[in-house]
Each structure stands twice: as structure tokens, then as C-alpha cells.
């Protein structure tokens, strides 16, 4: 197993940190801490002069590089603005570390050191370590997977150095979590960025098998024939238009004794052309991202298994390609899902909810304590909440609040949408139990969630519509374009919460 680049360094003065590049965070509107003042003294007051001239303000994501500093052990130095200390949470630290590493990994460096902020923000030190470590790795890995010149270079080592006086050994468990979470985030991004010629239902399922073998959790793969005998006709129906057969993957990590299980369900459409309700080129161009829910679930399993968290975790991944082939599902076709409910297909581009119908019904049959599904389900959710915030819909307010709290702690963003009963009008079909696409565009994200709710029975369930946050169209200082690994951090946080309480 590749351990990844992170390592935990000793608590030594900043001027003594040996590195090809040393990255130091600076707070906005704060005097230099004793450790930065000591660094400044070794640099003959360079930092003070930059501060006085207004070139070093500490504003969030500000970058100031010293290509050849004299008087310190590091060969290069970069200062990154951390923003206001009172406002700093995991998201802000993650982004600062990501922006700094993104700015320097265009060149090849063997050893990069990232100094944990001093003074510490109003967060436990283990959370500061987690956010900085995961952000640093995220910023170091680019999406140029098929470029002859990758343009970005993952450092051989990213050392996290602690403020003076830290009991570094007490941070080792937190460091273990940080490396596992960073590897998981990288895996999810890699899977979402992989081209659909490489990542299709079979190859995705094989990748699940590989991760499961390496990390020691169980992985069961159902092929077409098994899907038929298991009455998963909703998945089979959507897959019909493609020459690539579907797969259904079940993951199990059982380390929670006889306690209830947390079931994670991820939409795995490896390419969404829309089917016969074909998307335009513009709408289709990024639709390799339509398996981001499934990628987040596999990545969370990888982290949870590496950490041997004492939790029972199930994962269910319906994997299909949605294409308009000669045998493709047609408008007016009716499919019977695993739980016996019939679905009239009136728009083949509303395929996610159809495959999730079978997956959620199967998940509910396993009687887990709780279910969370993650799906790039609707463009409507992006109309409602923009590209950075996921929609959160639930059949159980208490479970919804608990998931929402975990998402917030992880530094990610989700916002509740209502699930009032009258939205069920939108699901009525003239010929079947349900129609897959509502008759109006209004309330589309809620209509999607209401459809899914028909398949979870009375298990407490949360649906996260991640169509916006799963994919970045453009780059920004802290982030490369492409797959973002959205909700991997939240799922790892939720699994920790589940391990501690359920």
C-alpha cells in the first residue's frame, strides 16, 4: 500500500526546519507569534519589513514567496495568509494549505514542510493537523492525468511541523486519520477524473475489489445475470442502452460488534449521456463525474478500513453507463424495482433515481440503523443552492441534523431542503406506481428526493444531492478543476461519530 507523502515532524524552531520548501501560515491582523518573530529575526527582519510595506497582510490565501532566503535551514520559504484567527475552522485551514501547496508543486521538490499555525486557531490541535494535512495533499495532486508533461509534482514528503512545545507523540492518532483521509480524498478525485473509457461499471467494480483486498474489507460484485436473479430490474433497465454491462457492488466493514450499521449508497453512473433523452454537448461534457457519489463511498470505506474504525459500515454501489443504444430504455417503458414498485420512465436522463431505487431498496432490506445516499442527482439542486452546497433531504429530522452536523464539522457544506408531502404529487404516473421524471422543472431536487424516499421504507435516511460540489468547472486558488472529492471528509467524520455513539 502506498502510504502517501505525509509525515509528522518534530517540534523544532521554524528556522531549523530542513526542507526544500517551508510553508508558514500568517494570521491577519495579529502580531507575529514568538515562533514567527524568531524566524523573522533569523531573516534579518525581512518579514517585519514586508508587513510594514503592506506586502504581507495574512489575508486568506495570500501567498508571499522567498525563493532564496538566507539564514534558515530551508532552501525556500513561502508564507500563506490564514485570514482572521477567530474565523478559522477546518475549511479555512484546508484551503490555505491547499493554496500554498498548489502554488509550489508546479516544480519538483523532494521535501516540503508545512508548519501548523502558531498561535493555534480556536480548534483542537488534532483538527488543525487534520485540516492542514488533507489540504496540503489536495493542493499537491493535480488532474493532469494524461498530460505528457504533468505540470504538477507531488513532493516526495510533506512534513507537518508542530508549534514549539507540542507533545508530538500525542498527535499520532490524529496524524493516522489525516493520512488515511488524504489518501481517500485523492482516490475519490482520481476516480472522478478518470476518463469513461477507463472507468466503466466493470472496471470500477474491479477497483472496488482491489481496494477491498488491500485494506481488508469485503466486496461482493453482482454481474448482469445475478442482477436479473435478484430482481434489480431498475438498474438493468437503465444499463440496457450501453454495450457495457452494469455491476452492483456491496461493501462491508464489520468492526462494530452487534451494533446497528451505517449504510452508504452512492450513485455510480460512469457516464451520463442522458440516454434517449440525450443531453446537449454542453450538458454532457463533464458527465464522467456522474459516479462521484459512488467514488465518495468507496473512498470512505478505504479510510474507515485503514483506520479499523469500530463501526459496522455497508456500502452499495449501483454502477451503469447511461447511453442511447438500440436496446435502450424508452420513454413510456415501465421497470419494476426490487421492492416491487413500478416506475414509468418518462425521461431517460432522470436515470440516477432509477438505479438508486434498486440500491436503496436492497440497502433497506439489510436493516441498517441509518442510510445516507450521495448522488449527483439533479441540475435543479445547483439552481437552488449553487455549485458549492449540497442539498440535504431526509425522512428523519434527527438523523438529518446529525449528518448535517458532521458535514459542518468536516468543513463541507450541505443545506436542508423541505420534504413536504404535497411534493409526492410530482411522482404520480398514469400507468405505474411512480414516474421517474416530474412534469415540471420547479422543485426538481425535492422531486428527486421524494422519489428516492419511496424505496427506503422507514429506515432513517439522508439524501445528499452533490451535483454542484462534486465537480469544479474552473480552478480557484485552493482547488484544481475537475473532481473535488466532495463529501469524503464528511463521510469519514460521520463514520467516526457513528463509531463513538451507535
Binding site for Zn ion (CB under 5 A): 269, 272, 290, 352
By beta-carbon proximity to Zn ion, the closer residue of 138 and 240 is 240
46: Cα within 13 Å, side-chain hemisphere: 15
Name the residue number minimizing CB distance to Zn ion.
272
In the complex, least distance from residue 378 CB atom to ligand BES, rounded to whole angstroms: 4
In the complex, least distance from residue 298 CB atom to ligand BES, rounded to whole angstroms: 18
Exposed, middle or buried: residue 63 (CB in 10 Å: 0-12, 13-18, 19+)? middle
Among 127, 272, 358, 480, contact with Mn ion (rule: CB under 5 A): 272
By beta-carbon proximity to Mn ion, the closer residue of 219 and 377 is 377
Q: 257-284 in b/e burial notation, b at 16+ Cβ within 10 A?
A: eeeebbbbbbbbbbbbbbbbbeeeeeee
Q: How many binding residues for Mn ion (CB under 5 A)? A: 3
3-state SS class at 49: helix
151: Cα within 13 Å, side-chain hemisphere: 10
In the complex, least distance from residue 471 CB atom to Zn ion, rounded to whole angstroms: 12
Q: Any idea what the Cα angle at residue 393 is, between residues 387 and 394, rounded to 5°? A: 160
Cell readout for 353 is 433515481
By beta-carbon proximity to ligand BES, the closer residue of 245 and 468 is 468
Cell readout for 165 is 512545545
In the complex, least distance from residue 372 CB atom to ligand BES, rounded to whole angstroms: 18
Residue 241 CA from chain centroid, whole number:
29
Active site residues: 279, 353
By beta-carbon proximity to Mn ion, the closer residue of 178 and 328 is 328
In the complex, least distance from residue 289 CB atom to ligand BES, rounded to whole angstroms: 6
339's contact among Zn ion, Mn ion, ligand BES, none, with CB below 5 to 8 A by partner kind, is none
Q: Are 307 and 216 in contact (CB under 8 A)?
A: no
By beta-carbon proximity to ligand BES, the closer residue of 179 and 484 is 484
490's contact among Zn ion, Mn ion, ligand BES, none, with CB below 5 to 8 A by partner kind, is none
202's contact among ligand BES, Mn ion, Zn ion, none, with CB below 5 to 8 A by partner kind, is none
d(CA 130, CA 134): 6
By beta-carbon proximity to Zn ion, the closer residue of 350 and 426 is 350
Binding positions for ligand BES, rule: CB under 6 A: 272, 290, 347, 349-352, 376-380, 437, 444, 467
The DSSP 8-state label assigned to residue 247 in this structure reads E
d(CA 15, CA 228): 65
d(CA 260, CA 270): 31
First to last CA, the chain: 30
Among 349, 373, 412, 480, contact with Mn ion (rule: CB under 5 A): 349
d(CA 19, CA 9): 11
In the complex, least distance from residue 322 CB atom to Zn ion, rounded to whole angstroms: 6
d(CA 490, CA 189): 15
347's contact among ligand BES, Mn ion, Zn ion, none, with CB below 5 to 8 A by partner kind, is ligand BES
Q: Which stretch binds Mn ion (CB under 5 A): 13-21, 191-199, 341-349, 452-460?
A: 341-349
Amino acid at each position: 500500500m502506498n502510504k502517501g507523502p505525509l509525515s509528522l515532524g518534530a517540534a523544532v524552531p521554524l528556522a531549523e526546519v530542513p526542507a526544500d520548501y517551508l510553508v508558514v501560515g500568517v494570521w491577519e491582523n495579529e502580531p507575529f507569534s514568538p515562533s514567527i518573530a524568531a524566524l523573522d529575526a533569523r531573516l534579518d527582519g525581512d518579514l517585519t519589513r514586508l508587513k510594514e510595506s503592506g506586502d504581507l497582510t495574512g489575508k486568506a490565501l495570500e501567498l508571499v514567496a522567498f525563493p532564496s532566503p538566507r539564514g534558515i535551514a530551508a532552501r525556500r520559504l513561502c508564507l500563506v495568509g490564514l485570514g482572521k484567527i477567530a474565523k478559522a475552522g477546518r475549511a479555512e485551514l484546508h484551503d490555505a494549505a491547499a493554496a500554498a501547496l498548489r502554488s509550489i508543486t508546479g516544480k519538483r521538490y523532494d521535501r516540503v514542510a508545512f508548519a501548523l499555525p502558531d498561535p493555534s486557531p480556536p480548534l483542537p490541535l488534532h483538527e488543525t493537523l487534520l485540516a492542514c494535512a488533507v489540504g496540503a495533499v489536495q493542493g499537491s495532486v493535480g488532474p493532469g492525468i494524461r498530460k505528457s508533461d504533468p505540470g504538477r509534482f507531488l513532493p516526495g514528503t510533506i512534513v507537518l511541523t508542530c508549534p514549539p512545545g507540542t507533545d508530538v507523540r500525542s498527535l499520532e492518532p490524529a496524524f493516522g486519520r489525516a493520512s488515511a483521509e488524504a489518501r481517500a480524498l485523492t482516490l475519490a478525485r482520481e476516480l472522478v477524473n478518470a476518463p469513461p473509457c477507463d472507468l466503466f461499471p466493470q472496471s470500477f467494480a474491479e477497483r472496488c475489489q482491489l481496494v477491498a483486498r488491500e485494506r481488508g474489507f469485503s466486496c461482493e460484485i453482482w454481474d448482469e445475470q445475478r442482477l436479473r436473479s435478484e430482481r434489480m430490474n431498475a438498474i438493468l433497465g437503465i444499463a440496457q442502452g450501453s454495450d457495457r454491462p452494469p455491476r452492483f457492488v456491496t461493501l462491508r466493514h464489520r468492526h462494530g460488534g452487534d451494533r446497528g450499521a451505517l449504510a452508504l449508497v452512492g450513485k455510480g453512473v460512469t457516464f451520463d449521456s442522458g440516454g434517449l433523452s440525450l443531453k446537449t454537448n454542453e450538458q454532457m461534457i463533464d458527465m464522467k463525474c456522474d459516479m462521484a457519489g459512488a467514488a465518495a463511498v468507496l473512498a470512505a470505506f478505504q479510510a474507515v478500513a485503514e483506520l479499523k474504525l469500530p463501526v459496522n459500515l455497508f456500502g452499495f454501489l449501483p454502477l451503469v453507463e447511461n447511453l442511447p443504444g438500440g436496446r435502450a430504455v424508452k420513454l413510456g417503458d415501465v421497470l419494476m424495482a426490487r421492492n416491487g414498485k413500478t416506475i414509468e420512465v418518462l425521461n431517460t436522463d432522470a436515470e440516477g433515481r432509477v438505479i438508486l431505487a434498486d440500491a436503496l431498496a436492497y440497502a433497506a432490506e439489510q436493516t441498517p440503523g441509518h442510510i445516507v445516499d450521495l448522488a449527483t442527482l439533479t441540475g435543479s439542486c445547483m439552481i437552488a443552492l449553487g455549485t458549492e452546497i449540497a442539498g440535504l433531504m431526509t425522512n428523519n429530522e434527527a438523523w438529518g441534523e446529525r449528518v448535517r452536523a458532521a458535514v459542518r464539522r468536516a468543513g463541507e457544506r450541505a443545506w436542508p431542503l423541505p420534504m413536504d408531502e404535497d411534493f409526492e404529487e410530482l411522482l404520480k404516473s398514469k400507468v405505474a406506481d411512480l414516474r421517474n421524471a416530474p412534469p415540471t422543472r420547479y422543485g426538481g431536487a425535492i422531486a428527486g428526493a421524494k422519489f428516492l424516499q419511496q424505496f427506503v421504507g422507514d429506515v432513517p435516511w439522508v439524501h445528499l444531492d452533490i451535483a454542484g460540489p462534486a465537480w469544479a468547472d474552473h480552478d480557484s486558488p485552493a482547488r484544481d478543476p475537475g473532481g473535488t472529492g466532495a463529501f469524503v471528509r464528511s463521510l469519514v467524520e460521520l463514520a467516526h461519530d457513528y463509531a463513538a455513539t451507535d
